Each structure stands twice: as structure tokens, then as C-alpha cells.
Structure 1
Amino acid sequence: MFAAAGISNIYFFLAALPVQLIILFFYMNHRQLPLRESRSFLYLMAVNTAVLLLNLLLMCVNPGEWPSLTPWLVLIFFSGVFMDTYLLFCYFCDALKGDEYGGKWVKRITFLPVAAGILYFLPKGGQGLAPCDMDAIYSMLKGSYLIFYAGLSLILVWLRRKENSFRRNAGFVSSLLIVLAGAYVRFFYPQVLFGGYFYTLAVFIIYLTVRNPDFYVEHQTRLLNKAAFQLVIDDRIESSGIHGFGFVIKDYEEGRILYGGPFIDSFLDNIGHYLQKEFGRGHAFYLDSGRFFILYRNPVSLKEETDRLHRRFRNPWTSGERSAYFDICCCLLEKGLHFESTDELVQVVSSAFDAAHRPGQEDFTIGEEYLSHVKRQVYVRRLLKESLDRDSLQVYLQPIVLSGSGKLEGAEALVRLADHDGSIISPAEFIPAAESSGAVTVLGLQVFRKVCDFIKKGGMEKCGMQWINVNVSPVQCLGRDLPEKLESIRKAYNVPRSFLHLEITEQGALGPGGLSQIERLRRLGYVMIVDDFGTGYSNSSRVKSIDFSGIKIDMSLVRAHFQKPDPYLPNLVKSLHDLGFTITAEGVETETMARELCAMGCDYFQGFYYSRPIPMDEFLKKYGK
């Protein structure tokens, strides 16, 4: 029968049809992302399957039956061929946001060749077309349309290459090259049914590399994962908007440490099943580390949804014979909140999750004020990165004086970040940003280098100082090569180690790597100082176990004493002195404070009473001899 139709080889065609049916079956039986891209891919597969089936039907018809065959069946076939190739471009247009290059007119204009083809065959139907004529026309049109739409799709892939991962780009390019290869081969071998095979192979590549549902499922909870969340909000932020809420399991990381990861994770499957069952109106995502987000397409009462969630979490979760209670905190997106980009939304949600983890934090709403706060944080991080890249951070010095005479003895180096307008951004803003991003390591080394440069140029000698204190962040202590890096800078400027005192908080000293780093730095000859004593769990017995030379009492402890005097601070100073530490009191703002702290036995003072932190050049003018 096929030989009578003039077709010498149908093996490629017969291979394509079952592959397409299998892909369609598995795709339909998996949870799909609520995306235009997902719908476009489904339409592409459905039409391709219909075209393959219709092509098989037409090939099975005996040539002598062509006159009696309804011409509209042939018209439908060719219309399907046109739509099949057009839907390929529509899929790439949705997957790569082709609308950004012309809005809805992109799809409307590119539909014109399809409309022209349908209008051409509409009055003719299938009348007068022999099977060989149909095959020749099919080969010509399929190849021409594939080249046109695949070419447009390749242009889109190139334009959006930076916004996509390597895997997505590789999948897109590979599938389109397969399509073009099929069109090329079909042109030279029109009697062999290559077209459907190559086209289905391209769909299969897209399925494996881009649209595979398993890429977007977190296997422990069976919820959608972070990659899916990124894609969905990227799609929603430009169409229907973002509506939903997130929640965190408080003390999740602590629970994993205390009870073990397998014990805590064994309940995640139950939580994921509950969210899928009870919050079916939305799409639930698991974003790792006990963080969840439920996204809705249509507005709902988020207060009612979170109240329902809290009621469930008041009861225990069970896994086998084990049970556990989890405390949660929810962050609700205010209705109508506008985000300028996907990155901005991700940053806001991430910041809200961090806030939700704080002890005592209750449910809160992410509104305009919170959005402005996060935008400010993002701006400061960007400004910090620019300053680090240009090495333009400013180093200020604040004098440290002898308690009895007020004579300048040393100074503390403090880093300052300048805005574009010249104003100074508070360290309370950019230091946490530097620590959370890891940039504090670069920052610390730049400050250390500028202090060494100041000393080498004679700044310390001109001011009659003995040393300059430089802060060492706990994050810096995580780097095992910290002593080597500091030594490399110091040697480059030929500065004696005794001129450089290193300050580190007690929490940093007792944190990961802290004790070993302090010991290594002490052996090299650096003087180590405890900074911000009194702000954490500091006490005499704890600092006694660490080889420090001096202690700086935090200004909050000093101010608290002068607001409400009691024996605590005098006794603390005495006990630290008895242990052999030199004591520096921070936050000295009046003559009375200086006099009484001196009577307590403090060795050095630092505070606004003597000077605010000032730039190095101003410091040199003020104290230089």
C-alpha cells in the first residue's frame, strides 16, 4: 500500500509517531508549571501529534480513492503543518519572552505566513492533488516554514542567552539545529519521510533539557522547587501579578543540628503532602532550609489561609512512630504590591524569610515600606561592590587616649562607605551586607592595606601614636590563609607588627576558625584585642581562656552604667585588670564619664568627647606634629 503511494521509506515516520505519543503521555501525567511556556509546549506537542496521525491516515488511503476523499481533510492537514511550525516559534517566544521585542504584535505578524498558506489552499481544498503532488507540496512548505520559524527562534535564543542557564540554551539550540537539519535532508530526499522524525526529535530534546517536569520538583517534599519558583514569578510578574505568602519553619537549622537532619527531613514529606492537598487553589513551592511559598493566580484571603496553616502546625506532625512540633512564621505579600523585576521579588522574599527566622517574630505583611527597605539594602550592596572593585572605601581614624593624661596613644581604623553624592552611609547598613555576601574579607584586607600605607608614609609617627587598631571580621577568620594575607600586605609596606593591633569580637574569636586564627596571629607577633566586650555572652572566665592582650568595653555597657549606676561595671573592670588585661572604655562622651572611668581603672578611652572618627588626612592635620 505504501509502495503503491510512491513512498519508498516510512521507517522514520513510524519511529516519530510513538515517540511523540509517549512524550505527550508522560508530560500530561506530571504536574506542570503554571506558565505560558508550559501551555505552549503542550499545544506544540498536541498539534504535532495530530499532524502525524493525519499524515498516517492520508498515506493509508489508496490513490484511486483520492477523488472521493473529502478535500477538507487535506486542507486540515496542510493547516496543521502550517500551525505546527508556527507553534514552534510561539513556544520559543513564550519561553524566551519574545513579547519584549514588540509586544503581542510579534506573534500576530509572524502568523501572517500561516494565514497566507491557509488562504491559498482554502478555495482549492484537496481537489486535484495526487499523493505525489501532496508529498512534494508538503516537503516544500514544511521545509520553508521550518527554516523561517526556526531561524526566528534562533535569533531569540541569541538575544536572551544571558538570561538563561547553559542547559536551557543548549537545549534550545540543539532542538532548532535538529529542525533545520531535518528541513535540509528533506529537501534532498523528498520521498523519505524525514520531516516528522526530525521535528519530533527536536520536541524530545526540548522535553529532556528544558521542559522535563522532574527538573522543577523538590523530591523530598514533592513540591515545586526554587527553579520552578523563579520561572513562575518571572512569568506572573509581567502578567497577572504576584499574590501569595511564604512561611518558614523556625529553628529549622538548629533542629537539624540538635535532632539530626534525617529526623527533621522525615517530616517534610508530610508537610508537602498537606500543602498540596489543603492549598490546592495555589501552587506550593519548597525553597530549601524549611522555607515554603504558596503562590495564587486569583486573589484569596491570605489571612484566612495563614490562620488555617497555623492551626495545623499547632498539632504534631508524625512520621512512623516519631512525632514533632514545628513553629512557623508567615510573611504575606500585600495586595497590589508592584515589583520592578524578578530579582527584586526574590530579594524581598529572601529578606522576609531571614526576618521571619528571628526569635519572637510574628506574622507580618510585606508592603511598600518593607519593599523600600529591601531596595535600600540592594542599593547599598551594589554601592559596596562598586567601591570594593574601585578600592575607593574610605578609612577613618578615631583616637584612643591614655585615661589619666588624655594623651594620644593610638587610634582605631574604621571603614566608611561614601554614596555617589558624597554622603556617608552608616556602617550599620553596609557592614551586615558585606558580612552576608562574604565581601567583608576583601573589605578587611583593603582597610589593613590602607592602614599600612598610612604608617609607612609616617602618619603614625607624625601623630605620636604607638599603634593602630584594625578590625578582623569573624567571616575573615573562616579563611585559613588570613595570617598569610595579612603578612603579605604588612611585609610589602615594611610595617612592624607591633604597630598593628587586631580587634576581634568574642563571638568571632569563639566562632569557627576563630581560636586557631588568633593563636596563629599571636605566634606571628600581633597584639590581639577583644572588641565589643559586653554585647554578647562575654565574661571574664571565657576571655581568660583566649590569649588576648586587651579588652574594649562596648559603649552600650558604658552608657548603661552612667544612665543607671551600679557596681557591675567597676567590678568588671577590676576583675579584668586582675586577669592582666589592659582596658579600653568605648563611648566616652563627657568629662564626667572620663573622670569616673579613670577612677575605675580603665587604661584607655575612646569616644566623641575626644573626637569623632575622621578621615586620615584630617586626622593627620589635627594631631600631626
Structure 2
Amino acid sequence: MFTSEHWGEFMIYNIDFDIAALFFLLALLFIFYYKKWIPNTQNKVFSAILWVSLFATITDILDAGMSSSSGLFPMDIHQIILYIYFLLIDALPILYVLYIFSLTGVEGKLFEGSRKYTFFGPIVMILFIILANFNTGWLFSYNSEIQNFDRNYAVAILNLIAFYYLMFGVKEIIKHRRVLGTEKSVALCLFVVFITLPIIIQMYMPHLFVTMFGVAICLFLIFMTIQGSEEIRSSTGLLNRNAFISCINIYNDKKEEYVIIAIRIRGYRYFKRVFGRTKMKKFLKEIGSSLDNYFENQNRAFYLGGGRFAVLLPSRYSSDYIIPDLQNIFNKEIDGEEMKINFASNFCIINCPSDVNDIDSLLQLIDKFDKHIDESKEITYASQIEMADSKRIDEIEKAVDRALLNDSFEVHFQPIYSLDKKNYHSAEALIRLHDEKLGSISPAEFIPIIERNGLIIQVGIIVLRKVCEFYLENKLNEKGIEFVEINLSVAQCMQKDFSEIMQKILREYDINPNWINFEITETVAAESPELLSKLMTTLHAKGFQFSLDDYGTGYSSMISLIELPFHIVKLDREVVAKLSNVKTQIAIGNTIDMLKKMKMYVVAEGVETQEQVRLLQDMGCDYIQGFYYSKPLSGQLFIEYIQKQMSVV
């Protein structure tokens, strides 16, 4: 046990807990800075909390050493250490409140209305008490008899102010608990417990320095549940799309000028099919490592998925100077088993805010560059890219806002027919939007927009709730409908508390998880395999089932089928449409045979003719979905259709 003694009157201070806290905090700081992090308010405040806690622990240890060694250290030095300690320890609850506000995204509201007085008023009081101590001794004073410092009644006042800030924070946690989620809310509330209990213990046992150990434990908990769970790395080792969006928002909030260099590997999807996901992943990691080294690990490079990268530079950097170096990094040769391929890339230079001034427009521009690039131009400037009709996009965004406000999104259902049971055994839920001004808007138009502006998560929750209500109200299980399929987007799969939200909604409606089947496209499975595997494993353990949608369009691999818990595989409509081709029949027949041996059920989408039904049935296909049986129907028409089919049977 680490202890200190002083001469004369025997006195021991136990600093074991402070020593442990010191190692904890040093480890957290090392991991925090070793891990890539973006310079947003949340991370800046958490970094400040770590450093303040570290120095508060050091000053606490120094105070213990000096207090237990009376007369060995100059009084002035000991006094300075105490002032520093009180400033640091009283800064922690304030930083705690700032951290909570940064997590909810409303930190700016601290400076609005009466809240600025309730937040900043006690800070003035803390500074007054500490600074006034030079003349008053309210906080601590020198006792010449024992040659040491006595702590006085103002310490209790500072403790009360600290408790005020902790309660201030708890109030905000309760207010924003839905935004924060259960896991974050619990971790933040435990911070109060782990600070308050050690303070109470130390009040009754002043020789036992446990306060900073409680702080360190709680920071470790927050790091593991909140900071550590922040998904900002891609499989390449670079920062991912979410981190890119956060960094752009930081620049936009500061109204700073910056340059984006968007980079696209030509023919990425083709090469991925030729070389396989593993070799391409290795190649992308090599590029990621080269970019990190080039920018000296300054978090300038991002991987956006699908062979697309982005480099974010302050306006002082010259893109003309950097582009040749980036070309050397990207234009590499990769060895295959039977061939060597020289990769080439396209670059797009975007000056912000002159070219685009918001994140939605920027992402739209990058997507436009990716899809409509002139392959003959290695370098393209944003001004050369024709943007989509922004007026139409604005109109659709307003229509989406109206639909959210008025709860006017509709869910249609397309029946899925069982070839074995000769009945409709399930249905796919499809969202529809009919606006009072624009009329019916195609999902192909509004879904990419709500994915880009982040509303897909909110809309996805609406769809799930409407499906649950519809299933219960119409007792679909009694009508032979075993489950309803709901599509998941990339954004939903990447949402940290998605699993928790889904389970909570089902508990509200008392819905059996087996009645819900989530459809995941090949694109999602290919681009986010690690994150998706974790999500699917969690939900599968709770009883949810999964379908792999659009199978056969070329984005997936055997690894997705083998490693992920898919229950159903849906053949893409583009493949089914070519069933009249003999080669297609052979390919689909072999595919169905393989999937059946893997104990999976097969659904054919887009079936429109009796001949397609016959061929698929001969091949052993389990289920049929398409216009041959029914188009997507509104809820009422779907029930009428199913009841009619039941009466025929």
C-alpha cells in the first residue's frame, strides 16, 4: 500500500486509490489519442475531462504527500497546489454538463435565455470563493501549530455547487433521454453516483483519497459505452462516412473555407467481383495506410464506401500540389491469381462553400461525380458537374416534412405466395408518399433524399409502427400471414441503438419478433459486413429473422450467406426477368439448389408470367412475389385480397 508519513505527529494518508486513478486515466488518454477521433464538441469536451481529471489526481497526490510531510515543503508551493486542485476538481461537474449538452447536440442553448445565468452564475461563485481565499481563508488556511493546511467550511459550499451541476446534468439527461438512448443515459447518471459516493466517503474518512478513483472509474465506463462505441473507422482504417459528415459540419458551423478532393476507383465493383472481397479489402487498407502516412495521421482522409474516398483540406492547402501525390497513392498495380491489374482513379475538386455550402448538397455532388463521371477526365472540378434539379429536391424535402408532421406516410403490402402451401404466407411492407401538392412521389425519388438528410431512421420507425398496428388490428397470423418483411437501409444498420429501439417498439405492441422479417440488400451486406454481423446476431438472438434482398445483382459474396444469419434469400427481379434465357435458367437452378442445401428459403421477386412461375416451381423455388399474383396494395385492399383468396381455397 502506498502511504505517506510526516514527522512529529504520526499521520497517514492512503493514496492507493489516487495511484490507481492515475494509471486508469493515463491508459484512457493513450487509447483516446491512439484511436482516431474527430474534433467535434463531444470529443473536445471529453478530452478536456480526461486532462482535468489527470491533473486533479496529480495535485491530489502532491497534496497528500505534502500534508503528510509537514515542514518539508515550502508553504507557498503547497498553497499553489491546493488552489490548482480546487480549480480542477470544481471544473469537472461543469465539464460534465457541457459533455451532456454536446451529446444531445444542443450545446448552443447553454447561452440562450435564463439558462446562461443558471449555468454560468455558479461558476462566478466558485471563482469568487477560490480567489477570495487569499484574504479570507474561507476555503483553507495555514495552521502554524501542525505546519499544515486546514480545510474550512467553504469546501462544503463548493461541494454543494458541484452537486448542483450534477443535478443540472441529470435534468438534461432525463429531458433528452430519447435522444441519448438508455445505455448513454445510464452511463451518464452513473457518473453522478461515482462522484458523489467517494466525496461522501472522503468527508467521513479524510485520510482516504478516493474521489479521483471514482471519477476515473466513471470515465472508463463512459469511454466504453459512449466514446468507445462511436463508429468512426471504416474497414480501411480511415475515418468513415459518419466522421466525414461530422467534420464537414464542424467547418460549416465555423463558416470556414475548405477543399474536398473526392476520389473514385474506376471499375471498383468489377474488380471486387474479379478479385474477391478479401483481396480488395487488403488493397483498400494499403491505400488507407498510405493516405494516413501522407497526411501524418491528421485525419484528413475518409473512406465513404464502394471504392470512394474523400480528402478534407483547409483552404490554405493547394489541391494542385497534392493531387499528383494522391495519384501516386491510388494508381497502383494489384496482383491477381492469373493477372495483374493497374488501377486508375478519378478525382473531383470541390471548393466549399463556393461550390456547395451544406452537407446535403456536398453528398449529392459526390454521388453525382461517382455516377456520371467522364472517364476520360482524371481530374474534374465541381463547377463542371451538372447538379440535379435542386428545386425538385427542395419540393420533395418539404413534402417529406409535411408527411412527418401530418403522419401521412402510407405503407402498402405486396403478398408473397407459397408454391408449396398454395397460399399467401407473408408480405413485404413498402412505404408510399402521396403529397397534397406534388401528388404521388416515387420511392426512387424520396428514399435517397431521406437517406441523405438522415430522416430514414425516423421514417423506418414509422414504417415499423404502422406494420405492427396493421398486423395486430387485422390479426394477420389468423389469415395465414406468418410475417411481414421490412426493408433496412445502411443508415438504420449503422445506428448504434437500432436493436434496442426495434425491441422496444415490439414490446409496446406485444408483437412476436418472429412476425417481423428484416430485408437487407446485398449492397448493405457488402459495404458494412462487420457492423451488420453484430446487429444481426443481436436481433437474431431475440427472435427476428432476415432476408437477403436483391440477390444476384453482383454485390454480394458467399461470405455474406455463410457468416450472416439469413433465413430467406430473394432473387432479384432483374435476374428473374431473364428466365427465358437458357443460361439464366441454369444459373438460377443451381443457385436455388445451393441455397436449399444451405437450409435457406428462396423468394423470386418480379414474377409476371405463368411461365416464370412454372420454371421457378420446377427449380424448387419456395415463394413467389410479383405482379403475376398481386401488385403492392393499400392496407384495406390487401386484407380484402387475402380474405378473397382464403374464401376461394
Asked if TM exceeds 0.5, the reply is yes
C-alpha contact (below 8 Å) 2:25/2:54 kept by paired residues: yes
* 2:596 corresponds to: none
Aligned CA distance change for structure 1 residues 357 and 517 (closer, same or farther; 3 Å): closer
Match of 1:143 in 2: 159
C-alpha distance 322-20 of structure 1, shift in aligned 2 (>3 A)? farther
* Residue pair 2:232, 2:240 contacting (<8 A) in 1 also: yes
The CA deviation string for residues 217-244 of structure 1, in whole angstroms up to 9 with x for no partner, is 33x4221223433433343332254622
Matches within 5 A, 1:600-611: none
Which residue of the other structure, out of 97, 100, 107, is the alignment partner of 1:99? 107
From 59, 63, 67, the counterpart of 1:54: 59
Are the aligned partners of 1:10 and 1:193 in contact in 2 as well (CA < 8 Å)? yes
1:383 corresponds to 2:385: no
After superposition, residues 453-492 of structure 1 pair within 5 angstroms as none
Query: Could you tell me which residue of structure 2 aligns to residue 329 of structure 1?
Result: 346
Q: Secondary structure at the match of 1:294?
A: strand
Larger Rg, first or second structure (1 or 2)? 1
Q: Does 1:522 align with 2:631?
A: no
Worse overlay, 172-181 or 43-52? 172-181
Shift of 1:16: 1.8
Aligned residue in 2 for 1:289: 306
How far apart are the structure 2 equivalents of 1:95 and 1:52?
A: 26
Cα deviation, residue 265, structure 1: 1.5
Which residue is 1:509 aligned to?
577
Q: Tell me, in whole angstroms, the C-alpha distance in 2 between the residues paired with 1:94 and 1:258.
A: 45
- Deviation (angstroms), 1:100: 1.8
Distance in 2 of aligned mates of 1:228 and 1:523 = 50
| 1:269-288 to 2 correspondences below 5 Å | 269-280=285-296, 283-288=300-305
Matched residue, 1:222: 237
Please give the residue correspondences for 1:22-101 in structure 2 after superposition, counting only pairs within 5 Å: 22-61=27-66, 62=68, 64-65=70-71, 68-70=74-76, 71-101=79-109
Once residues 314 and 251 of structure 1 are traced to their aligned partners in structure 2, the CA distance between those partners, rounded to angstroms, is 13
1:117 partner amino acid: I
Give CA-to-partner distance per residue, 1:146-190, whole Å, 9 cap, x none: 312222333344455455466544443333442344445445555
Aligned-partner residue type, residue 91 of structure 2: M
Structure 2 distance, partners of 1:100, 1:41, is 17
Q: 1:16 aligns with which of 21, 24, 39?
A: 21
Q: Which amino acid aligns with 1:226?
A: R
Opposite residue 236 of structure 2, the aligned amino acid is T
Indicate the residue corresponding to 1:115 in structure 2.
127
The alignment partner of 2:263 has SS state of strand
Q: Contact 1:5/1:131 (CA < 8 Å) preserved in 2? A: no
* Separation (CA, whole Å) in 1 of partners of 2:603 and 2:232: 43
For each residue in 1:80-121, what CA deviation from the matched residue of structure 2 results, as whole angstroms up to 9, or x when unmatched?
A: 333344344444444544532144958755632332232222
CA separation of 1:314 and 1:88: change in aligned 2, threshold 3 A: same
User: How far did 1:272 drift?
Assistant: 0.7
Q: How much does 1:267 deviate? A: 0.7
- SS of the residue corresponding to residue 253 of structure 2 reads coil
- Other-structure match for 1:172: 188
Q: Tell me the equivalent position of 1:450.
A: none
Measure the CA separation in 2 of the matches of 1:322 and 1:141.
75
**In structure 2, how many angstroms separate the alpha carbons of the residues matched to 1:293 and 1:97?**
25
Aligned residues: 451
What SS does structure 1 have at the residue aligned with 2:236?
coil
CA distance in 1, matches of 2:24, 2:432: 63
Cα separation, 2, equivalents of 1:57 and 1:302: 51
The CA deviation string for residues 568-614 of structure 1, in whole angstroms up to 9 with x for no partner, is xxxxxxxxxxxxxxxxxxxxxxxxxxxxxxxxxxxxxxxxxxxxxxx
Q: Which amino acid aligns with 2:60?
A: N
Structure 1 residue 480 displacement after superposition: 9.1
Q: 1:371–1:73: structure 2 CA closer, same or farther, 3 Å change rule?
A: farther
Quote the Cα distance in structure 2 between the aligned partners of 1:25 and 1:548.
59
CA distance in structure 2 between the aligned counterparts of 1:423 and 1:376, rounded to whole angstroms: 10
1:350-499 aligned within 5 A:
352-353=366-367, 355-358=369-372, 360=374, 364-366=380-382, 373=389, 376-377=392-393, 379-380=395-396, 383=399, 390=408, 419-420=435-436, 422=437, 431-433=444-446
Secondary structure of the structure 2 residue equivalent to 1:390: coil
Correspondent of 2:142 among 110, 125, 128: 128
CA contact (8 A) 1:32 1:38 kept: yes
Q: Are 2:249 and 2:359, in contact at CA under 8 Å, matched by a contact in 1? A: no
Distance 1:141 1:352 in 2: 56
Query: Contact (CA 8 Å) 1:146, 1:183: kept in 2 or not?
Result: no
What is the alpha-carbon distance in structure 2 between the residues aligned to residue 93 and residue 119 of structure 1? Answer: 28
- Cα 1:355/1:75, change in 2 over 3 Å: closer
2:552 equivalent in structure 1: none
Distance verdict in 2 for CA 1:10–1:275, change over 3 Å:
closer
Q: Which amino acid aligns with 1:118?
A: I
Which one-letter code corresponds to 2:239 in the other structure?
Answer: L
Q: Structure 1 unaligned segments of length 5 or more: list them.
A: 395-414, 444-474, 483-503, 527-546, 550-625
Unaligned 5+ runs, structure 2: 413-430, 464-488, 490-518, 522-545, 550-571, 580-587, 593-601, 615-625, 629-649
Contact 1:98/1:156 (CA < 8 Å) preserved in 2?
A: no
When residues 58 and 431 of structure 1 are mapped into structure 2, their CA distance, relative to the original with a 3 A threshold, is closer
* Distance across 2 between alignment mates of 1:169 and 1:231: 22
> Which whole-Å CA distance do the structure 2 matches of 1:258 and 1:524 have between them?
30
- Deviation for aligned residue 1:356: 0.9
Superposed displacement of residue 207, structure 1: 2.3
- In 1: Cα distance, 2:147 partner to 2:272 partner: 69
Q: Work out whether residues 40 and 91 of structure 1, in 8 Å CA contact, stay in contact via their aligned partners in 2.
A: yes
Q: SS at the partner of 1:128?
A: strand
**Structure-1 separation of matches of 2:337 and 2:134:** 66
Does the 8 A contact of 1:416 with 1:424 survive in 2? no
Q: Does 1:233 align with 2:248?
A: yes
Q: Could you tell me whether the CA contact under 8 Å between 1:67 and 1:127 is conserved in 2?
A: no
Q: Quick one: distance in 1 between partners of 2:331 and 2:141?
A: 72
- Sort the Cα spacing of 1:418 and 1:63 in 2 relative to 1 into closer, same or farther, 3 A: closer
* Deviation readout 1:48-105 (Å, 9 max, x if unpaired): 2222222212212346428952133333332333334434444444454453214495
Contact 2:264 2:307 in 1 (8 A): yes
Whether 2:273 is the aligned partner of 1:251: answer no
Aligned to 2:281: 265
Residues 240/276 of structure 1: CA separation in 2 closer, same or farther (3 Å cut): farther
Shift in CA distance, 10/231, structure 1 to aligned 2, threshold 3 Å: same
Secondary structure of 1:65's match?
coil
Q: Is the alpha carbon distance of 1:372 and 1:237 closer, same or farther for their aligned partners in structure 2, counting shifts above 3 Å?
A: farther
Equivalent-residue separation in structure 2 for 1:506 and 1:121 (angstroms): 79
Confirm or deny: 8 A CA contact 1:480 1:517 kept in the other structure.
Answer: no
